[in-house]
């Protein structure tokens, strides 16, 4: 009984309902919780990168004014992690990074808590610190985790060894044979990138209370169910003893895709019997940010003179920081990004997640896709230079399309990148040499990218109210991207034939809705949208069943429109939704439906991938970016002259909202490409500690991004949708780097391209980048094959 | 012995440390949480208030210097819950995302347009150099501001 | 007068001296301020615009010092633009200074420095006095502009008044005794041309990685004379680029390749490494800054 509605009914530029209160300053984010109701907690953090803790004395601290409770390792001894449970929430007897929490102190005011933290007496024996991955991989390097082999494995299949927390490898075909051919050129290059910090305007913050034997945590998070699970794990209680609710979130970008401050607030709430609030200062937020990791890449390819890539090998070193965290999971994404975009005759990839004595890294909007795309597109342009082929022509010949194999052997469903590339060339014109009158160097690039939609479990319930409105209950969180207040109510509304303003969207509460992987990775519209659509289908079935009785018409001939149940083709016929709902309620009770969604699972080629969490991507998403820029050869300054995008959206449910994501995402990418630099000193601490030295783009650093939305590519997402929030950032590093290479005629191997780094490029320095500890012999870099 | 503060035309008495920042005073003591704390060092502009009608960052003002001065916060900009023309333009163009930078944006642009009702795009951008946004990439905000002058003056 | 008597008078109430511990004192005259600062010595922090002192906790400076606020001393806000000299009270803000200057070429250097610093809100709060006296702030814009303008500073001490050239003050300030109060900055006027350039990493909203102020006269023969060039943010302390000044004095403007000449005299500087930029970059951009500043001296600032 599935008379579907027209998905086109979903599409509109619905304005967001939360804008007004945000503009008035009325919205209460978690950081706005305060007053005399809550205690304030701070973390005592390590100020050295590596040390043994000999003793800690809290006597003085405990006796200071206003201090209510102190929590340490003993209160929360559990280890957590992704793939490996290697992460404590408090340092126990060892400090592994500058900023690592040692204790949490709750007091009446935050100043009192800070004063108490300063009064704690610690005796440390400092140890040698491994600040770089080179340090960590050197022969005889000490171990960041001497007990690495004792850690509980949460996901089987990866190699691990010493300071290599995780290894993910791909082997498809015979690259040795490919490289040995006499009709190929071999092009090899090294690339490196620094960390990027999210800088959400609301820092990580949590407020916890302990009520009726359960923890209630209100937090600024993207992942309420992960918070629930990790808090329970580290505190040694069952998951059901933790409830997580989420108000409006002031930005996330992936930083909040992990549990962070919540366990500290929770344990102190239990100890004090009061509500406890804990927030990172901006300095703490910057210095312990779960950054997009720094990475080092060696990539080599065997390419025929006709531009066929017969073999490709690459090794990627990913800096995890002191604990595995997101990087363990993200090692999976090399295959689909660095190993993506192009048809490959044979491929070997390894991603090594490396422990260092630095703050742990994490997930940030398109994660390692951003730097893998940079390295891949730079490498691609270097290939074109070597074989003398036009970079656009090369891409046209080689981008994957229908029935082509991905790195792990998955079979792609449609021609997507090819047509998008054609669209870009058509709309934005061919590349032309240009001379700028002021002596600056002109460059342009066209790059392509592949990312994925992070599908996975989501659940939704739709409750119909007697007045004809509907309540959507999910664990989705509104972090600013708009999906919770736009795409989701649009889907429910179109499905039920009402206006989106009639759809109440319940804010996330793990007591109210089913399990959800979280908000990020472009998954909200797809996974939560699919679960919501499924819930609506159940509601529609109930409504049509009842209405068919009331109207004496077959259910297949009925439609939901304008708050009515009507006979198809006869507008104004039928009866009101309220009437049908009332009848349902009278006969069998309130009307609701529930739905769930998880990744369908696309097969990869068996045996290709090892240590991967995702062997094949269910929903690939692509981009083509075109960038023109001018380089000042005296100062190294770069001005972006134009930036144009073709984005693979499947179906655009709210085109204006997608425009906002593209503008915002590209600008964040310009920050990554040009301005945002993190340097780590000998103390294992970031030199950039706040807005002064960590430079995010300002209003004069940006320009309007032109874009074209590419619809219709295959997607198992609801109504053919793909998420649009992440991919805008994916190609920016690549686009800028390739344009700078074209402008200067020099090799570009590193991001960010700050003005001093651009002068390095002009001086020919970046072409010399080489990693002696990443061998050209691919096997010898791996744990599995060496 | 308190400090008398005139905030949004209301008198408040503050009895804490006069060296406390106005931002912390607004948020912690008077629970006016519309001014935000992203950077606490004067760079992001999200705590922008008016002191005697002139924009300033509340994070860097010691509250003890404000005796006798008129303080206007984001909570005092709209009258009776009616958005001012700048706020209305931002709503109409659907430019808000996470929302944390917007109180500061509204204050800065409201002040700009009070003194310059028809700014050029460059003038708008110059006025915004102390207002950082991490979500939007700015241009749609500027588009919204440019639409205000077509519609009429900005209220005080 | 004892401190506690002053405070009691300030508040209009009589307090027992032992009970009262003021955290902020707001004198209404320079004389009162000087007295208080002299009494409090190291226990006082001068509160001018607040843009430096209010960030002390971020710098990890945790102390309980008394703030002596200068905000109620009317005389310190004056800006008087005369034909012979410009007089600026120490509490004048960047914004106030920029507004007061009318675009005549000799003061362009100061106007441009005041107009472009930091961001609009900070410019309305940060004072010229703070810019000059904050030893730990490595990137002031007004200081090199004032050096290039041959400014004189007046300090009020409890014992009397002291005048000193800004150049000498900047060189010696870290070693000066605590307790003096900068009250007045005076800039001699003349038929000079001037400009201030700053180099950032982004387009706006940050401290300069390097800045350069230039002022010169042109004699009847059309040759450069009295060239003064001050460079800031490149080293820990702003200083004059006397080597370049010497190389330009007496030259004819039209055919000058400032960039090339400046490159020959870069050895006077040793750039400092910082979280914002490496030292070699600060010196590498100086010739271009000098050239841009020279070009700017021929343009008006509105």
Where are the domains positioned within chain C? 3-69, 74-188, 194-297
Cβ proximity of A449 and A627 under 8 Å: no
Domain C194-297, CATH homologous superfamily name and number:
CO dehydrogenase flavoprotein, C-terminal domain (3.30.390.50)
Query: DSSP label at A522?
Result: T
The answer to whether the CB of A625 falls within 8 A of the CB of A734 is yes
- Residues A347 and A409: their CA atoms lie apart, in Å, by 10
- CA proximity to A608, closest of A451, A406, A786: A406
Other Cβ atoms less than 10 A from the Cβ of A143: the count is: 12
DSSP notation for chain C: --HHHHHHHHHTS---TTT---SEE--SSHHHHHHHHHHHGGGEEEESSSTTGGGTTTTT----PEEEE-TT-GGGG-EEE-SSEEEEETT-BHHHHHHH----GGGHHHHHHHHHSS-HHHHHH-BHHHHHH-TT----SHHHHHHHTT-EEEEEETTEEEEEEHHHHHHHGGGSPTT-EEEEEEEE--SEEEEEEEE-SSSSSS--SEEEEEEEEE-TTS-EEEEEEEEESSSSS-EE-HHHHHHHTT--GGG--HHHHHHHTGGG--PPP-SS--HHHHHHTHHHHHHHHHHHHTS---
Predicted-assembly ipTM surpassing the 0.90 threshold: yes
A592 is a domain residue: yes
Nearest to A20 among B43, B46, B83 (CB): B83
Q: Is pLDDT at B127 greater than 50 in this prediction?
A: yes
Beta-carbon separation of B96 and A16 below 8 A: yes
Q: What residues of chain C score a pLDDT lower than 50?
A: 1, 8, 10-19, 302
**DSSP for A192-230?**
EE--B----SS-SEEEEEEETTEEEEEE--S-HHHHHHH
Kindly determine whether residue A657 and residue B94, on different chains, have CB atoms separated by under 8 Å: yes
Question: CB distance C278–A756 less than 8 Å?
Answer: yes
Q: Do A368 and A419 fall into the same domain?
A: yes
Report how far residue C144's alpha carbon sits from residue C210's, in angstroms, rounded to the nearest whole number.
Answer: 11
SS3 A15: coil
Query: How far is the C-alpha of A39 from the C-alpha of A275, rounded, in Å?
Result: 6
CB contact under 8 A, B55 and C124: yes
Within chain A, which residues score under 70 in pLDDT?
Answer: 1-3
**Average pLDDT of the segment spanning B113-130:** 96
Contact B54 C124 (CB under 8 A): yes
Distance from CA of A115 to the nearest CA of C (A): 10
Residues A586 and A717 in one domain: no
State the residue for tokens 């965290």: A325
A728, A727, A737, A734: which is closest to A766 by C-alpha? A737
Q: Do B94 and B64 sit in the same domain of this protein?
A: no
Q: Which of C19, C47, C119, C137 to mutate to test the interface with B (most CBs of B within 10 A)?
A: C119
DSSP state of A338: T
Phi, psi of A628, rounded to the nearest 5 degrees: -115, 140
Please report the residues numbered 33 through 92 in chain A whose beta carbons come closer than 8 angstroms to any beta carbon of chain B: 34-35
For A759, which of C199, C284, C287 is closest by C-beta distance?
Answer: C284
Cα–Cα distance between A642 and A649 in angstroms, integer? 22
Residue A631's beta-bridge partner residues?
A441, A638
Examine the domain organization and report whether A117 and A64 are in the same domain: yes
Range of the domain at B118: 85-151
Please report the number of interchain residue pairs, chain B to chain C, with beta-carbon separation below 8 angstroms.
Answer: 82
In a mutagenesis test of the C interface, which of A698, A699, A757 is the best target, namely the one with the most C β-carbons within 10 Å? A698
CB pairs under 8 A between A and C: 49
Tell whether A289 is covered by a domain.
no
> Half-sphere exposure of residue A120, counting CA atoms within 13 Å on the CB side?
25
For residue B151, the model assigns a pLDDT of: 58
List, in sequence order, every residue forming a beta bridge with A302; answer none if it has no partner: A186, A311
**C178 in reach of chain B (CB within 8 A):** no
Domain count, chain B: 2
The DSSP secondary structure of A604-640, one letter per residue, reads --TTSEES-S-SS-SSEEEEEEEEEEEE-TTT--EEE
Measured between CA atoms, how close is B118 to chain C, in angstroms? 18
What does the block give as tokens for C70? 């200068």
Fold of the domain spanning C3-69: 3.30.43
Helix (H) or strand (E) segment spanning residue A298: strand A295-304
Instruction: Select from B55, B76, B97 the last residue of a domain.
Output: B76
Verify whether the Cβ–Cβ distance B42 to C26 is below 8 Å.
no
B23 is a domain residue: yes
pTM above 0.90, yes or no: yes
In A683-730, at which residue ranges do the beta strands (DSSP E only) sit?
706-711
Tell me if C58 and A697 make a contact (CB, 8 A cut-off). no
SS3 A88: coil
Q: Identify the bridge partners of residue A751 per DSSP, sorted by sequence position.
A: A193
Q: Are A561 and A710 contained in the same domain?
A: no
Q: What pLDDT sits at residue B80?
A: 85
A559: CB partners within 8 A, 6+ apart: A3, A5, A497, A565, A566, A567, A568
- Contact between A394 and A383 under an 8 Å Cβ cutoff? The reply is yes
pLDDT at A106: 98
Mark which of A597, A629, A646 sits at the end of a domain.
A597
Residue C18: its pLDDT value, please? Answer: 38
Q: Which of A13, A14, A24 to mutate to test the interface with B (most CBs of B within 10 A)?
A: A24
Residue where one domain finishes, among candidates B58, B76, B94: B76
Using CA of residue B133, residue B136, residue B138, residue B141, what is the dihedral sign? Answer: negative
Are the C-beta atoms of residues A224 and A245 closer than 8 Å to each other?
Answer: yes
In a domain, B156, yes or no: no
Strands A214-219 and A242-245: parallel
Whether residues A635 and C275 touch (CB distance < 8 A) is answered with no
Within an 8 Å CB–CB cutoff, is residue C188 touching chain B?
no
Answer yes or no: are the C-beta atoms of A468 and A576 closer than 8 Å: yes
Identify whether the C-beta of residue C128 lies closer than 8 Å to the C-beta of residue C220: no
**Can you give the pLDDT at residue A35?**
78
Count how many Cα atoms sit within 13 Å of the Cα of residue A97 in the half-sphere of its side chain. 29
A 133-152 residues inside an 8 A Cβ radius of B: none
pLDDT (tens digit per residue) in C102-144: 888 999 999 999 999 999 999 999 999 999 999 999 999 999 9
- Name chain C contacts of B40, Cβ cutoff 8 Å: 55, 58
**Nearest one of C75, C109, C99 to C89, comparing CA atoms:** C75
Euclidean distance between CA atoms C156 and C89, whole angstroms: 12
Whether A546 and A616 share a structural domain: no
Do B95 and B69 belong to one domain?
no
Tell me, yes or no, whether B27 and B69 share the same domain: yes
Of A20, A25, A699, the CB nearest to B103: A25
C61 in B contact zone (CB under 8 Å): no
User: Distance (Å, rounded) from C-alpha A369 to C-alpha A339?
Assistant: 10
Q: Which residue of B has its CA nearest to A15?
A: B94
Residue C275 to residue A700, Cβ atoms within 8 A: no
Task: Tell whether A480 lies on the interface with B, counting CB pairs under 8 A.
Answer: yes
Distance CA A45, CA A261 (A): 13
Q: Which of A597, A612, A630 is the last residue before a domain boundary? A: A597
- Give the pLDDT score at C228: 98
Q: Which residue of C has its CA nearest to A284?
A: C58
Specify if A247 maps to a domain.
yes
CA distance C3 to B44: 39
Radius of gyration of chain B (CA): 15
Tokens of C118: 């930091």
Which residue among A636, A688, A759 places its CB closest to the CB of C275? A688
- Domain annotation covers residue A164: no
Would the CB atoms of B98 and A250 count as touching at under 8 Å?
A: yes
- In this prediction, residues B27-46 reach a mean pLDDT of 97
Please indicate, yes or no, if residue A149 is contained in any of the structural domains: no
Q: Which of B18, B21, B50 to mutate to test the interface with C (most CBs of C within 10 A)?
A: B18
Distance to chain A for B125, nearest Cα, Å = 6
To the nearest 10°, report the CA torsion of C44, A61, A88, A197.
-10
For residue A268, the enclosing domain spans: 33-127+204-279
Q: How many CB pairs under 8 A join A and B?
A: 158
Q: Spell out which residues of chain C touch residue A194, defining contact as CB-CB under 8 Å.
A: none
Please, how many CA atoms are within 13 Å of residue B80, restricted to the half-sphere of its CB?
0
Question: Between B96, B131, B134, which is nearest A22 by CB?
Answer: B96
Residues B26, B71 share a domain: yes
CATH number of the structural domain spanning residue A530 = 3.30.365.10
Q: Do A698 and C202 touch (CB under 8 A)?
A: yes
Q: How far apart are CA C50 and CA A530, in angstroms?
A: 53
Rounded to an integer, what distance in angstroms lies between the CA atom of residue B13 and that of residue A781? 67
Q: Is B67 exposed, middle or buried (0-12, 13-18, 19+ CB in 10 A)?
A: middle
Fold observed for domain C74-188: 3.30.465
Q: How far is B73 from chain C (nearest CA, A)?
A: 14
Rounded Cα distance between A676 and A678, Å, is 7
Q: Look at B62 and C67 and tell me if their CB atoms are within 8 Å.
A: yes
Residues A299/A376, Cβ–Cβ less than 8 Å: yes
In this structure, the number of other CB atoms found within 10 A of the CB of residue C11 comes to 14
Residues of C within 8 A of B21 (CB-CB) are: 54
CB C181 within 8 A of CB C31: no
Whether A590 and A719 map to the same domain: the answer is no
List of chains touching A (3+ CB pairs within 8 A): B, C
C99: left (phi over 0), alpha (psi -120 to 50) or beta: alpha
**Sequence-ordered alpha helix ranges (H) in chain B:** 22-24, 85-92, 102-115, 121-127, 139-151
**Mean pLDDT for chain B overall:** 94
A628-655 per-residue burial string, b: 16 or more CB within 10 A, e: under 16: bbbbbebbbbbebbebbbbbbbbbbbbb
How far apart, in whole angstroms, are the C-alpha atoms of residue A393 and residue A430? 11
Q: Is residue A664 located within the same domain as residue A728? A: yes
Contacts of A375 (CB under 8 A, 6+ apart): A189, A191, A297, A299, A314, A338
Domain boundary, last residue among B18, B49, B76: B76
Whether residue A199 lies inside any domain: the answer is no
CB C22 within 8 Å of CB C103: no
Residue A433 and residue A316 share a domain: yes
Question: Per the structure, how many domains does chain A have?
Answer: 3
Structure confidence at residue B155 (pLDDT)? 42
The 3-class SS string of A471-512 reads EEECCCCCCCCCHHHCHHHHHHHHHHCCCHHHEEEECCECCC
Question: Quick one: angle between helices A367-387 and A732-744, nearest 10?
Answer: 30
Q: What are phi and psi of A428, to 5 degrees?
A: -105, 0
Q: Which chains form contacts with chain B, at 3 or more CB pairs under 8 Å?
A: A, C
């Amino acid at each position: 009984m599935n008379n579907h509605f027209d998905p086109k009914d979903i599409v509109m530029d619905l304005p967001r309902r939360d804008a007004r209160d945000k503009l008035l300053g009325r919205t209460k984010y978690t950081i706005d919780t305060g007053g005399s109701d809550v205690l304030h907690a701070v973390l005592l953090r390590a100020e050295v990168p590596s040390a043994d803790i000999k003793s800690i004395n809290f006597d003085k601290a405990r006796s200071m004014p206003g201090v209510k409770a102190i929590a340490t390792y003993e209160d929360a001894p559990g280890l957590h992690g992704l793939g490996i449970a290697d992460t404590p929430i408090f340092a126990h007897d060892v400090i592994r990074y500058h900023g690592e929490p040692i204790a949490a102190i709750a007091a009446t005011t935050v100043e009192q808590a800070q004063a108490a933290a300063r009064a704690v007496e610690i005796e440390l024996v400092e140890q040698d610190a491994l600040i770089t991955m080179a340090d960590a991989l050197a022969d005889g390097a000490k171990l960041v985790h001497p007990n690495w082999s004792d850690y509980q494995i949460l996901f089987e299949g990866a190699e691990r060894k010493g300071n290599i927390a995780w290894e993910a490898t791909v082997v498809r075909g015979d690259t040795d044979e490919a490289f040995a051919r006499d009709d190929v050129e071999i092009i090899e290059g090294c690339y490196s990138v620094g960390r990027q910090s999210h800088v959400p305007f609301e820092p990580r913050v949590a407020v916890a209370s302990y009520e009726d034997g359960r923890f209630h945590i209100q937090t600024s998070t993207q992942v309420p169910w992960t918070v629930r699970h990790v808090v329970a794990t580290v505190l040694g209680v069952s998951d059901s003893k933790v409830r997580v609710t989420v108000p409006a979130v002031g930005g996330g970008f992936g930083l909040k895709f992990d549990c962070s401050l919540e366990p500290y607030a929770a344990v102190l709430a239990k100890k004090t019997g009061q509500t406890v609030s804990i927030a990172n200062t901006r300095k703490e937020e910057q210095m312990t940010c779960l950054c997009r990791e720094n990475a080092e890449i060696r990539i080599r390819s065997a390419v025929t003179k006709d531009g066929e890539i017969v073999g490709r090998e690459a090794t990627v070193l990913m800096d995890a920081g002191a604990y595995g965290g997101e990087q363990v999971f993200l090692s999976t994404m090399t295959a689909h990004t660095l190993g993506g975009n192009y048809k490959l005759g044979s491929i070997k990839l390894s991603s090594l997640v490396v422990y260092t004595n630095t703050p742990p890294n994490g997930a940030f909007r398109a994660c390692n896709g951003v730097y893998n795309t940079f390295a891949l597109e730079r490498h691609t342009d270097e290939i074109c230079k070597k074989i003398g082929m036009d970079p656009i022509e090369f891409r046209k010949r080689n981008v994957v399309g229908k029935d082509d194999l991905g790195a792990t052997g998955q079979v792609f469903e449609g021609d997507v990148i090819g047509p998008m590339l054609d669209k870009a060339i058509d709309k934005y014109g061919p590349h032309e040499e240009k001379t700028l009158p002021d002596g600056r160097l002109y460059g342009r690039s066209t790059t392509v990218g592949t990312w994925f939609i992070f599908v996975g479990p989501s659940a939704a319930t739709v409750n119909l109210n007697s007045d004809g409105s509907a309540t959507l209950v999910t664990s989705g969180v509104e972090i600013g991207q708009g999906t919770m207040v736009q795409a989701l109510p649009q889907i429910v509304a179109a499905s039920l034939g009402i206006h989106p303003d009639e759809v109440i969207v319940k804010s996330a509460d793990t007591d109210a809705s089913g399990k959800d992987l979280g908000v990020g990775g472009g998954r909200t519209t797809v996974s939560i949208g699919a679960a919501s659509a499924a819930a609506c289908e159940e509601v529609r079935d109930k409504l049509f069943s009842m209405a068919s009785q009331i109207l004496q018409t077959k259910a297949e001939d009925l439609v939901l429109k304008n708050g009515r149940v009507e006979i198809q083709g006869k507008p104004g016929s039928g009866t009101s939704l309220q009437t049908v709902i009332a009848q349902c309620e009278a006969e069998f009770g309130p009307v609701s439906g529930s739905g769930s969604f998880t990744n369908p699972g696309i097969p990869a080629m068996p045996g290709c991938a090892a240590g991967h969490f995702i062997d094949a991507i269910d929903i690939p998403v692509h981009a083509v970016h075109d960038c023109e820029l001018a380089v000042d050869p005296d100062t190294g300054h770069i001005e972006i002259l134009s930036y144009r995008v073709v984005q693979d959206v499947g179906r655009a449910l709210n085109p204006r909202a997608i425009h906002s994501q593209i503008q915002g995402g590209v600008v964040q990418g310009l920050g990554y490409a040009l301005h945002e630099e993190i340097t780590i000193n000998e103390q294992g601490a970031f030199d950039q500690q706040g807005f002064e030295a960590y430079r995010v783009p300002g209003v004069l650093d940006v320009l309007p991004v032109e874009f074209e939305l590419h619809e219709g590519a295959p997607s198992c997402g609801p109504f053919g949708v793909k998420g649009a929030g992440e991919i805008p950032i994916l190609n920016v590093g690549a686009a800028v780097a390739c344009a700078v290479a074209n402008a200067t005629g020099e090799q570009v191997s590193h991001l960010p391209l700050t003005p001093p780094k651009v002068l390095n490029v002009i001086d020919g320095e970046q072409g010399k980048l080489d990693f002696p500890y990443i061998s050209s012999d691919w096997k010898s870099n791996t744990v599995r094959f060496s | 012995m308190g400090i008398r503060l005139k905030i949004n035309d209301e008198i408040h008495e503050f009895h804490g440390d006069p060296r406390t920042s106005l931002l912390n005073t607004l948020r912690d003591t008077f629970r006016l949480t519309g001014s935000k704390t992203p950077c606490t060092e004067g760079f992001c502009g999200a705590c922008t208030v008016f002191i005697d009608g002139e924009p300033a960052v509340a994070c860097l003002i010691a509250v003890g210097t404000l005796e006798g001065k008129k303080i206007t916060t984001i909570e005092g900009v709209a009258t009776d819950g009616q958005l001012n023309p700048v706020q209305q333009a931002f709503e109409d163009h659907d430019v808000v995302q996470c929302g944390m930078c917007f109180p500061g944006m509204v204050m800065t642009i409201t002040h700009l347009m009070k003194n310059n009702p028809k700014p050029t795009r460059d003038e708008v951008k110059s006025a915004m150099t102390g207002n950082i946004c991490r979500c939007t990439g700015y241009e749609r905000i500027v588009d919204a501001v440019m639409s205000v002058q077509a519609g009429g003056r900005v209220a005080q | 007068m004892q401190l506690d008597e002053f405070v009691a008078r300030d508040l209009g109430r009589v307090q027992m001296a032992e009970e009262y511990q003021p955290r902020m004192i707001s004198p209404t005259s320079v004389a009162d301020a000087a007295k208080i600062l002299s009494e409090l010595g190291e226990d006082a922090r001068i509160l001018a615009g607040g843009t430096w002192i209010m960030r002390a906790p971020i710098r990890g400076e945790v102390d309980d010092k008394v703030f002596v606020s200068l905000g109620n001393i009317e005389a310190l806000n004056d800006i008087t633009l005369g034909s012979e000299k410009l007089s600026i009270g120490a509490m004048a803000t960047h914004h106030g200074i920029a507004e007061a200057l009318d675009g005549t070429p000799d003061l362009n250097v100061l106007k441009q420095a005041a107009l472009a610093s930091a961001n609009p809100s900070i410019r309305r709060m940060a004072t010229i006095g703070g810019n000059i006296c904050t030893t730990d702030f490595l990137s002031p814009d007004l200081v090199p502009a004032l050096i290039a303008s041959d400014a004189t500073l007046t300090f009020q001490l409890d014992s009397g008044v002291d005048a000193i050239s800004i150049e000498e003050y900047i060189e010696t300030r870290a070693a000066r005794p605590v307790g003096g109060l900068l009250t007045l900055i005076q800039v001699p006027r003349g038929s000079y041309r001037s400009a201030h350039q700053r180099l950032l990493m982004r387009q706006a909203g940050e401290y300069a990685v390097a800045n350069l102020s230039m002022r010169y006269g042109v004699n009847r023969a059309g040759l450069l004379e009295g060239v003064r060039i001050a460079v800031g943010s490149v080293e820990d302390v702003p200083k004059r680029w006397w080597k370049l000044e010497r190389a330009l004095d007496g030259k004819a403007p039209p055919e000058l390749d400032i960039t090339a000449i400046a490159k020959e005299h870069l050895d006077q500087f040793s750039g400092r490494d910082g979280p914002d930029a490496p030292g070699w970059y600060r010196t590498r951009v100086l010739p271009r800054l000098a050239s841009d500043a020279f070009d700017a001296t021929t343009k008006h600032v509105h």
